């Protein structure tokens, strides 16, 4: 049978897939709906919620009452800062391992990966203590460093798998044409490496944005990113559904959008090249 799929089969697939997809997506859709309702309407039964008037009030109140923008700023600084710092350290390392592999390159890579497996809670107190000693508790600097370190193995691995796909013959061809090391890096390698670096940056911003062990344990008010800001709604303020929904929507929207662009990189970045 050739793959001439009947329209009926395709319709059935579509129906089943859309139903399941909407069910999985529903919780996100629902907080989106709740965020546009008044506090009193948001706790009504679902159908009455839908019928209630729509408004933007919750979004305004969130900013007024709990300084959403301040925490948003912290999230941006932490996720971008830790990723850029990580790239500065990782690009040369991954580059060297991909283009000048030595006998121990594989061992070094595996060892780097193993540091990612260290359970955070096992080193919670030492890090906490070091943070107190160096006055880093509740500081953006301290958290940026920690986030950079926990994601560094993933950054190096992702870059390594991208760099390895750049064919070595291209370099030789460039050399034959008389390119020096500078031209080689500038005109041959960089253009080929940029997409890989961009993907790595994207995935790691997402991972850092959503990190919720160190951000919860090492921040209070000043450096708290959105993860910790949302956690402050856990009780008893959590009963304010509309405000919690508005805050949540604003916390996840930027990353949801970025996430949709990074589906492929997600597989590569989180399986360390074991699934392609």
Binding of other proteins by 92 (CB under 8 A): yes
Chain centre distance of CA 78: 11
What 3-state class would DSSP assign to 236?
Answer: coil
Query: Cα–Cα distance between 32 and 58 in angstroms, integer?
Result: 11
Q: How many residues does the chain have?
A: 276
Binding to other proteins (CB under 8 A) within 139-168 occurs at 149, 152-153, 156
Instruction: Kindly give, in sequence order, each residue whose CB lies less than 8 Å from that of residue 219, ignoring residues fewer than 6 positions away.
Output: 138, 143, 225, 228
Binding other proteins by CB under 8 A: which of 199, 226, 243, 269? 226
Binding of other proteins by 69 (CB under 8 A): no
Binding other proteins by CB under 8 A: which of 52, 127, 174, 179? 127
What 3-state class would DSSP assign to 9?
Answer: helix
Binding other proteins by CB under 8 A: which of 196, 244, 246, 269? 244
Give the nearer residue to other proteins in terms of CB position, either 69 or 129: 129
Binding of other proteins by 272 (CB under 8 A): yes
Minimum distance, C-beta of residue 53 to other proteins, in the bound complex (Å): 19
Query: How many residues lie near other proteins (CB under 8 A)?
Result: 96
Give the nearer residue to other proteins in terms of CB position, either 140 or 203: 203
Binding other proteins by CB under 8 A: which of 58, 82, 199, 227? 227
Other C-beta atoms lying within 10 Å of the C-beta of residue 127: 17
Binding of other proteins by 21 (CB under 8 A): yes
For 17, 163, 168, 211, the CA distances from 216, given in Å and listed in that order, are 37, 35, 45, 9
What own/partner pairs with CB < 8 Å and gap ≥ 24 does 106-110 have? 109/156, 109/157, 109/160
Query: Cα–Cα distance between 117 and 129 in angstroms, integer?
Result: 21
Binding of other proteins by 190 (CB under 8 A): no
Binding other proteins by CB under 8 A: which of 8, 51, 64, 122? 122
CA-atom Rg of the chain in angstroms: 24
Minimum distance, C-beta of residue 46 to other proteins, in the bound complex (Å): 6
Query: Cα–Cα distance between 104 and 192 in angstroms, integer?
Result: 26
Based on DSSP, count helices (H) and strands (E) in the chain, helices before strands. 15, 0
Taking a C-beta distance cutoff of 8 angstroms, is the pair 31, 240 a contact? Answer: no
Give the nearer residue to other proteins in terms of CB position, either 14 or 135: 14
Could you list the beta-strand ranges (E) of 188-266.
none
Binding of other proteins by 133 (CB under 8 A): no
Minimum distance, C-beta of residue 234 to other proteins, in the bound complex (Å): 4
Binding other proteins by CB under 8 A: which of 8, 51, 64, 125? 125
Binding mask 197-216 for other proteins (x = CB under 8 A): ---------x--xx-xx--x
Look at residues 252, 145, 265 and name the one whose alpha carbon lies nearest to residue 203.
265
Binding of other proteins by 61 (CB under 8 A): no
Binding other proteins by CB under 8 A: which of 56, 170, 173, 256? 256
Give the nearer residue to other proteins in terms of CB position, either 175 or 192: 175
Q: Which stretch binds other proteins (CB under 8 A): 54-62, 65-73, 136-144, 225-233?
A: 225-233
């Amino acid at each position: 049978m050739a793959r001439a799929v009947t329209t009926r089969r395709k319709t059935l697939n579509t129906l089943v897939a859309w139903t399941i997809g909407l069910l999985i997506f529903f919780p996100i859709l629902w907080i989106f709906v709740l965020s546009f309702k008044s506090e009193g309407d948001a706790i009504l039964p679902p159908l009455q919620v839908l019928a209630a008037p729509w408004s933007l009030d919750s979004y305004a109140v969130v900013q007024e009452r709990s300084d959403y923008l301040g925490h948003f700023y912290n999230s941006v600084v932490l996720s971008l800062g830790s990723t850029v710092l990580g790239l500065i350290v990782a690009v040369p390392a991954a580059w060297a391992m991909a283009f000048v592999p030595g006998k121990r390159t594989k061992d070094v890579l595996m060892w780097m990966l193993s540091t990612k497996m260290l359970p955070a809670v096992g080193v919670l107190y030492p890090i906490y203590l070091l943070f107190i000693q160096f006055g880093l508790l509740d500081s953006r600097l301290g958290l940026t460093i920690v986030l950079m370190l926990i994601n560094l193995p993933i950054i190096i691995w992702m870059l390594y798998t991208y760099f390895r796909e750049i064919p070595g013959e291209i370099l030789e061809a460039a050399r034959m044409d008389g390119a020096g090391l500078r031209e080689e890096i500038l005109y041959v390698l960089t253009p080929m490496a940029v997409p890989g670096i961009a993907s790595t940056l994207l995935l790691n911003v997402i991972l850092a944005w959503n990190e919720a062990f160190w951000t919860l344990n090492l921040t209070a008010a000043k450096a708290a990113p959105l993860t910790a800001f949302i956690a402050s709604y856990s009780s008893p303020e959590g009963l304010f559904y509309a405000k919690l929904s508005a805050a949540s929507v604003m916390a996840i929207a930027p990353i949801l959008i970025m996430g949709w662009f990074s589906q492929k990189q997600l597989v590569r970045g989180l399986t360390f090249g074991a699934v392609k």
